[in-house]
Amino acid sequence: MNIGITCYPTYGGSGVVATELGKELAARGHKVHFISYALPFRLDGYRENIFFHEVELPDYPLFEDSLYSLSLTSKMVDVVLYDDLDILHVHYAIPHATSAYNAKLILNEQGRDIKIITTLHGTDITLIGLDPTLLPLVRFSIDKSDGVTAVSRFLREKTLTNFNLDRQVEVIPNFVNTDEWKRLDSTKLRAQFAPNGEGVMVHASNFRPVKRVTDVIRVFAQVHEKVPSKLVMVGDGPDRAEAERLCRELDICADVRFLGKQSALVEILSACDIFLMPSQSESFGLSALEAMSCGVPVLSSSVGGLPELNVHGTTGYISEIGDIDRMARYAIDLLSDRKKYDRFSRAARERAENSFSSRDIVPLYEQYYERVLNGQQ
């Protein structure tokens, strides 16, 4: 099968899932064509059956704003025609689903049909898509897709309700390659993070307000008072400066490491004990799944799709948004009881393996492609 994938190539979860899906599909013998303005950051090194098509933007003084969506449409048309694609699989509704539909119209005029599958990831539905200036376009683009998937039951229901849609939305959860995302020997790195054997907590995100990174700092400050511990902060974004300021205010800078954006996440997670995700909104929580696959229990908020991933009292704990005290108590409990911690760690890994492994989830996409191609939507 020839599959075109369009995604944002940056560090967001939608781009990560799309890229990992493409890599898995290519390994299974499909030809995968990524169409985007830059090479997806997880598309590292040469891989058989993977091709990249860069969307070039016109540089003309008349155009004050980016014409990315229009340039993307043109590139999609070219790739469909000249690489004989079977499906355009777009991740994130805006502007990818709209560009794909425009490409479909152009191709239809040339006697060439192309099937469009749109995968919804979260803020394209719960935030950006609800902007009154975009809502009609988002609704139209989703409704005109030949197939629509969502990464959690929560997101499916939000999509149908927010946009008043009467159509099928298939739930195919995010996944992780459990052969790659597994706990490694982290002796050296752990010695750097916790030279005196302290517990190590970790947070990884894009540091946007919705991730509530200052809550991470406040939770750690409470844990640090009771249990010898360190905090590792992975990522970057608009709230990093405020998080660093709070560390200075609480006088915990010596025990908090801001690593910025990192690619060696498996190694970092393997050197940590607890993953913190106090988000205000999460449609799934991919970074939490990656931590669980490495045997790291998760302390998360109760929002969105997180309860579908993190099993309270088994793979980690769930707290209400902003309940810093409760989340800190859960962390202290796990760091203070080695037997309980080991049980949670094993359960986290087992849940990743048994419910969210790429070997089980990627075939669901293949089956869905076949259904859409056969007009069974």
pLDDT given at position 42: 83
Whether the pLDDT of residue 23 is over 70: the answer is: yes
**pLDDT, tens only, 79-100:** 999 999 999 999 988 889 999 9
Asked whether residue 22 is domain-assigned, the answer is yes
Mean pLDDT of the chain: 93
Query: CB neighbours (10 Å) of residue 359?
Result: 12
**pLDDT, tens only, 25-53:** 999 999 999 999 998 888 878 889 999 99
Share of residues in the chain with pLDDT > 70 (%): 96
Asked whether residue 94 is domain-assigned, the answer is yes
Q: Is 313 left (phi over 0), alpha (psi -120 to 50) or beta?
A: left
Same domain for 45 and 162? Answer: yes
Same domain for 222 and 239? Answer: yes
10 Å CB burial of residue 45 (0-12, 13-18, 19+) is exposed
Q: Can you give the CATH number for the domain in which 309 is found?
A: 3.40.50.2000
Range(s) of the domain holding residue 222: 187-355
Same domain for 52 and 126? Answer: yes
Same domain for 75 and 197? Answer: no
**pLDDT, tens only, 250-303:** 999 999 999 999 989 999 999 999 999 999 999 999 999 999 999 999 999 999
Which residues are CB-contacts of 150 (< 8 A; sequence separation ≥ 6)? 119, 120, 125, 156, 159, 169, 170, 171, 172, 283
Same domain for 316 and 342? Answer: yes
Give the Cα-Cα-Cα angle 367, 92, 17 (nearest 5 degrees): 60
Asked whether residue 54 is domain-assigned, the answer is yes
Same domain for 239 and 273? Answer: yes
Give me the mean pLDDT over the 125-131 stretch: 67
